[in-house]
Structure 1
């Protein structure tokens, strides 16, 4: 039976393709419906995996395509197992449940110029953006950093674009090349929209370099929150609905502790950027370490991202 609700869609895995060393793409097509919901460049979907795991992945394909969604997954040996599962287990023909597309990294199609700075798997939302800008005939320039040529996903696809030699600049770490983020930003003409997706250091440099630019022209998406996860422990979480008190030990996050005690909590990025593990706070003062909640939401202390945040009070009462 196909699952189609306002939140979830049943899809079938129709293709797996190696895009670079340790990066594979996955094509999903709808089951029981002719088209998938429309999406805009920069959007992502949540992919539901076994054991109540949810992972968020950017859509790579052209937003014009309604017959498929394509994501790319980089193998992360030190992650929480989602990427390793994706690289080792799924087979073409299997069915998955996904969310409706969501977009926290939207593209401004009307910009006079778009400049993209990305690193590693951060290329994935940018590929979709470039496909869209090509379709509407807009001007763009890409600065793409990777460890080495063999690990640069979609580099061959990008090279096929007209005038790619003048619009795509590649930087390979093993050859001593790194993009000068500040210089790139400073050279961008007024009115340019700037985008960055990549490792923490790159995004931090980008935000710093863009401090004097109009903020409506500055766009970024992180793989992980700017701050390290709170794992100092030394406090208790109280589950408001059943009264259980659980000690959070040093070296553990709240999420680790909840999962160890069999508490059913959804999570995806485990880095404080996607919002999947958001839990309401009934009492106590969280130590917010995420990049998802707004400053106002953090000040209100009504919610906490349990994957990375901790507690400033001895007890944190959660709406669980």
Structure 2
């Protein structure tokens, strides 16, 4: 199954993993095997209401017949998590797309895993994989309270099996994760993998830049990214309006102030793929054939941003008068 294909699954079971966190076990309705996946992967889930949400896979990837995802109830969210928690989904059918992976484990001499809240879901699959490889890893896990922190028993088992240091820090008892201290203590040649709230990830990257700039920091968050440095939520400082040329048809569209590229393009190409509209899922990734894109997503790494040949059109912009897209 490619990233764009749909697959019907049945919810086999639901389980409480912590206060406010429920996991769902999914299997194909036809009983067949699910597509293989790697640590850090996620699936796109179409809920009964039609809402589309992205959830990290956190089950046993050695089991080809089931996927497991975990969902934090977010009272201030847009309704997706409440639907998962409040709807009798067990026995029902859902549609999924994927898996996709914008957060893959890359070779490193050692691994420092940093999880904040529900960000532990991809980190759990990484810890499981690194334990199986016999790799050197350690985990720093922060959460609102001990009761709200999911998968603690399994993480404890993995820590024992791998003889890996696991530091669990509930904020109401121990305060915030000491990110600068974590970065300073990282082994030489280590890669840092972080998943959690945007503020935590921003602080983690800033700490690495200050004290250990030689370390690679990989991250993922399932919320909208923060504004670019200097913008601070101010109105778009780039050229508006600007023109987008659709190379496949030769048509042009104007992106006016207050309109995203995606919204403008959809008026002409209604079937252009998209999902989150917040720059974190990668569904709307589009080739750039001309012009200079401005990136505001959390999918592309620094090298991909510098290359300027792809962009997420749901949040990206343009620094000139014209942008040419492979659409």
Considering the TM-score relative to the shorter chain, is it more than 0.5? yes
Q: 1:235·1:313 contact (CA, 8 Å) conserved in 2? A: no
Tell me if structure 2 keeps the 8 A contact 1:237–1:245. Answer: yes
Distance, in Å, in 2 between the alignment partners of 1:261 and 1:79 is: 31
Matched with 1:103 is 101
Contact 1:63 1:132 (8 Å CA) reproduced: no
| 1:219 aligned partner | 218
SS of aligned partner of 2:100: coil
Deviations, residues 179-208 of structure 1 (Å, cap 9, x unaligned): 211211211221333221112222223223
Is the 8 Å Cα contact of residues 142 and 168 (structure 1) preserved in structure 2?
Answer: yes
Say yes or no: does 1:288 pair with 2:286.
Answer: no
Matches within 5 A, 1:1-320: 7-49=5-47, 53-89=51-87, 91-108=89-106, 111-161=108-158, 163=160, 167-211=165-209, 212-215=212-215, 217-223=216-222, 224-227=224-227, 232=235, 235=241, 250=258, 266-278=273-285, 286-293=293-300, 304-310=311-317, 312=319
* Alignment RMSD (CA, Å): 3.8
Q: Secondary structure at the match of 1:36?
A: coil
- Please tell me whether the aligned partners of residues 235 and 315 of structure 1 are also in contact (alpha carbons under 8 angstroms): no
Q: 1:300 to 1:155 in 2, by over 3 A?
A: closer
Query: In structure 2, the residue corresponding to 1:101 is in which secondary structure?
Result: strand
Q: Is the 8 A contact 2:245 2:322 kept in 1?
A: no
Contact 2:137–2:164 at 8 Å: present in 1 too? Answer: no
TM-superposed deviation, 1:111: 4.8
For normalisation by structure 2, the TM-score amounts to: 0.76
Aligned-residue offset at 1:125: 0.5
The answer (yes or no) to whether the contact 2:159–2:166 under 8 Å persists in 1 is: no
> 1:312 & 1:287 partners in 2: Cα distance?
6
Deviation at 1:163, TM superposition (A): 3.3
Quote how far apart the aligned CAs of 1:270 are: 3.7
Q: Would the aligned equivalents of 1:13 and 1:96 in 2 still touch at CA under 8 Å?
A: yes
* Cα deviation, residue 91, structure 1: 1.2
**How many Å apart are 1:246 and its aligned residue?**
7.6
Change (3 A) 1:130 1:238: closer
* Larger displacement relative to structure 2 (266-275 or 115-124): 266-275
Aligned length: 314
CA distance in 2, matches of 1:196, 1:105: 10
Secondary structure of the residue aligned to 1:37 is coil
Contact 2:28 2:34 in 1 (8 A): yes
SS at the partner of 1:100?
strand
Flag the 1:59–1:231 CA change in 2: closer, same or farther, 3 A: farther
Q: Distance in 2 between matches of 1:23 and 1:186?
A: 32
Contact 2:13 2:26 in 1 (8 A): yes
Relative distance call for 1:51 and 1:13 in structure 2 (3 A) is closer
Q: TM-score, normalised by structure 1?
A: 0.77
Looking at structure 2, the residues matched to 156 and 142 of structure 1 have their Cα atoms a distance apart, in angstroms, of 14
Deviation at 1:278, TM superposition (A): 3.4
Equivalent pair of 1:235/1:311 in contact (CA under 8 Å):
no
